[in-house]
Amino acid sequence: MTAGPIRVLICDDDAALRFLVREMLSLSAAVQVVAEAADGIEALEQLRLHTPDVVLLDLNMPRQDGMETLPLLRDEFPATRVVVLSARDDGLVGAQVLELGADRYVQKGVDPDTLIGIVEELGAPRA
């Protein structure tokens, strides 16, 4: 992790949601959104270009969804922290994404302070 801001990639097929999440994260001086992606293929491309500290990853996306992307992301970028941000309210899905390597499973609609807190916690330098 770098000493600068926590670098974040937002991956969701909904452009309006990406905008809202970017705005939420802009409330923290410790967080900088460095890239956005509309699907898993774009997310991996953006990861290679920007090497973010934290990825916010949606599950339901065209071309390559979050479930397909997560193991690929983990293989190629093991140090990157991953928060699956999903509309699905399903404990089984939450357990499955954690098993695939996500650091957190959070429902969309989470309040800004909670999301910022999770990103700041996961993006903090590890001892």
Q: How far apart are CA 78 and CA 119, in angstroms?
A: 17
Domain limits for position 104: 6-119
- Which CATH number does the domain housing residue 66 bear? 3.40.50.2300
CB 20 within 8 A of CB 111: no
pTM over 0.85: yes
Q: Count the domains in the chain.
A: 1
Q: Is residue 101 part of a domain?
A: yes
* Whole-number percent of the chain with pLDDT over 90: 55
- Structure confidence by residue, pLDDT tens digits, 84-110: 988 776 667 777 888 888 999 988 888
What is the strand order of the sheet 6-11 is part of? Answer: 31-37, 6-11, 54-57, 81-86, 104-107
Residue 124 domain flag: no
